[in-house]
Amino acid sequence: MEISPNATKFYIDGQWVESSTGDTLDVINPATEEPIATIALGGQADVDAAVAAAQRAFESWSQTSIDERTAILNKVTELIGARADDLANAISAEMGAPLGLAKAAQAASGLAHFATTAAVLPSFEFEEQLGNSLLVKEPIGVVGMITPWNWPINQISCKVAPALAAGCTMVLKPSEVAPLNAIIFAEILDEAGVPAGVFNLVNGDGAGVGSYMSGHPGVDMMSFTGSTRAGVEVAKNAAPTVKRVAQELGGKSANIILDDADFAEAIGRDAFGMCMNSGQSCNAATRMLVPKSRMDEAAAIAKAAMEAVVVGPPSQDGTTIGPVVSEVQWNKIQDLIQAGIDEGATLVAGGTGRPDGLDAGYYIRPTLFANVTNDMRIAREEIFGPVLVIIGYDDDDDAVRIANDTPYGLSGYVSGSPERAMAIARRIRTGNMHVNGAGPDFQAPFGGYKQSGNGREWGSLGLEEFLETKAIMGAPAS
């Protein structure tokens, strides 16, 4: 993979500039455990420069027309398509996604968010007459953005696209674990003609950049995607300046298989699908709930599906899942698999250690536990790996109770007869529900209840997240 010459620079005020700290960090390929690039790590002076550039740019960008912003969004969409292979290759190398997934889903999702926002913007209602008052939705200002490594371009794009559409300016700190795709993304925005200072990129870690940006008085809003633990810290840092904080955090999504579902289809589909991206998706259906009387049947179907998952190098034809992103994640997943064994869950497939024949790289054996109870660690903690647990329930009410017995509420799944499945979906306290295998919808809002966060991304509600509402009393009706 060709590394951008801008890898050791930041994009601030329309220019590629050197870091103020001189500190660097190696980017590790999780498939080989070897460094593939070096990036610069920023500090407070870099954040100050980026925020100042965004503040200056806000004066003019916030006043641009909808047509001007739509044109920029369309140009970025076009250029993401043109550089899709570059993005996919970077994502595959730095976080381990198989190349097919990196192209078809990872890079493609970035394009989809820009295309969706470009379609939403022209008809979005920025003004509404209410009695003798005019309600005006205006850009919130300078937005600080912190994004994770697991679906990097997806999570960058679903923040940057609506922020641009709203008329905001921004400073992005992507994950230092998978930063190379963000550098390509900055090159795309520069080529698309995004005015200087509207979008700024500063690489760094949470301590050096993220914490300082979260508390910066020049930042009007923080948009964060990552772990619940880190989200709490962002909110704490933001609190003294009373800035808006939008968070998309962790998940432990329940997948209810009703007794009238097609077990072979639903369980086979969902056990295999849960492993996608090596299980590193915050909305992964990691808790499968089945009738207690059919536990053995469900476990056998899930076992066959998970044993069909091919673990291997991301560049290898036929690979279903690659490695997890880092040694830290690998060790965490191993600890939780062992915890499941120690707590008495039935290990049906997989287990600790690397898959046979893969002696280097952070590879995980797709692992299935049956006869799990909802008080076990493997049922309560976000594992973030290809680990599925099956929990038995007595009846529909018991399934709903178990599904809702979690601090999280990001996503959920239910399969069964349509009317009954919809009735269950309405009872689950979560931001998204997928009925009978329905996939994601880029126009629908994405976000969570409880400790899975607050605010919504994607589509028109994602745009609204970056707006303030002003009431002008006494405004004449137009």
The catalytic site residues sit at 248, 282
Q: CA 172, CA 181: separation in Å to the nearest integer?
A: 13
Count of Cβ atoms closer than 10 Å to residue 160 Cβ: 30
Q: CA 378, CA 388: separation in Å to the nearest integer?
A: 9
Q: CA 249, CA 110: separation in Å to the nearest integer?
A: 19
- Cα Rg, the chain, nearest whole Å: 23
Q: CA 460, CA 451: separation in Å to the nearest integer?
A: 23
CA 358 to chain centre: 28
CA atoms lying within 13 Å on the CB side of residue 359? 1
DSSP symbols for 332-362: HHHHHHHHHHHTT-EEEE--SSPPTT--SS-
Return the DSSP state at 121: G
Please classify residue 82 by burial: count the beta carbons closer than 10 Å to its beta carbon, then call 0-12 exposed, 13-18 middle and 19+ buried.
Answer: exposed
Q: Which long-range contacts (CB under 8 A, 24 or more apart) does 444-449 make?
A: 446/158, 446/248, 447/248, 447/410, 448/248, 448/249, 448/251, 448/408, 448/409, 448/410, 448/411, 449/409, 449/410
**Are 445 and 455 spatial neighbours (Cβ–Cβ below 8 Å)?**
no
**Are 134 and 471 spatial neighbours (Cβ–Cβ below 8 Å)?**
yes
Count of Cβ atoms closer than 10 Å to residue 28 Cβ: 21
Closest CA to 383 of 272, 206, 277, 250: 250
Closest CA to 219 of 269, 261, 163, 258: 163
